Structure 1
Amino acid sequence: MPDKFSPEVRSRIMASIKGKDTRPELIVRRYLHRHGFRFRLHGRYRGKVLPGKPDIVLPKYKTVIFVHGCFWHGHQDCKYYKLPKTNTEFWRWKIARNRANDISHRMDLLREGWNVMTVWECAIRYDKERTLKVLDSLVDMIKV
């Protein structure tokens, strides 16, 4: 199926998609800050960038948090992850590569002694009550 947008329009649409400071990431950061946690952003710690550039780094707890978008990381059985009908093979490859990178980065961080947590966009973005439950349990896990 051909793309319904011209290459120029598609390029502009894709360029407008943010990779940092997304709405789900800001929700998690505000919640953590409100609960007294101090953190670094985008994988920066002691002058270097950690594998996978975790969205949030909590050095005091030796914990990193990835806030994953359901589409970009291929969240299984999630209503927000659907393979596009155009350019399907590219997207299948792209998302598979993202998943493989996620696993690799997680393993690297675990080998370096970090606790690794992943928060999915769908868990915190659309239902306020569910969001609070997820973030409360996240805080409980960090403090352990």
Structure 2
Amino acid sequence: MSRQNSRDTAPEVAVRRLLHAAGLRYRINTPVPGMPRRTIDIAFGKAKIAVFMDGCFWHGCPEHATWPKVNAEWWRQKLDRNIARDLETKKHLAEAGWTVLRFWEHEAPDEVAKRVAEAVARKRRSERPHRGEGTQ
């Protein structure tokens, strides 16, 4: 398992390239605030948007997840813990004011990048002071 890529996977890199080409700047593999040993795949810090690109096997994709037959109970527990950890991380970030976006590795990178860019734009618009506010 230590040989499995947990970062810079092909789907993640494809989405990052599209976001960068669209003029968006972000941090990669950023630690989750207050949660040791957990990282956000793509983070927009100021906007507080966390993007996770989940592998179908490791995170239990309802469409593509497979369950190994050898040592099945150990794998079931391992993968169930991954899913529980994902939910815990999402809850923790949401309580801290973050928007959490999760995507499966099989989703089209251009569609993922589009949805992320839209979320960032919405967040930035909502945080921008409205005309006439803040002036006296």
Task: Identify the TM-score tier after normalising by the shorter chain.
Answer: 0.7 to 0.9
4+ long deviations beyond 3 Å: none
Q: Which has the higher helix share?
A: 1
> Equivalent residue of 1:123, what SS?
coil
Aligned counterpart, 1:40:
27
Structure 2 regions of 5+ residues with no counterpart? 123-136
Contact 2:67 2:75 in 1 (8 A): yes
Mapped partners of 1:141, 1:88: distance in 2: 39
Matched, 1:63 2:41: no
Q: TM-score, normalised by structure 2?
A: 0.80
- Which of the residues 46, 51, 66 maps onto 1:82? 66
Structure 1 regions of 5+ residues with no counterpart? 1-13, 125-130
Contact 2:15 2:112 in 1 (8 A): no
Q: TM-score, normalised by structure 1?
A: 0.76
Contact 2:42 2:52 in 1 (8 A): yes
Counting aligned pairs with the same residue, the percent is 36
Q: How does 1:1-144 map to 2 (within 5 A)?
A: 14-44=1-31, 49-50=32-33, 51=35, 52-76=38-62, 78-79=63-64, 81-124=65-108, 131-144=109-122
Mapped partners of 1:134, 1:54: distance in 2: 16
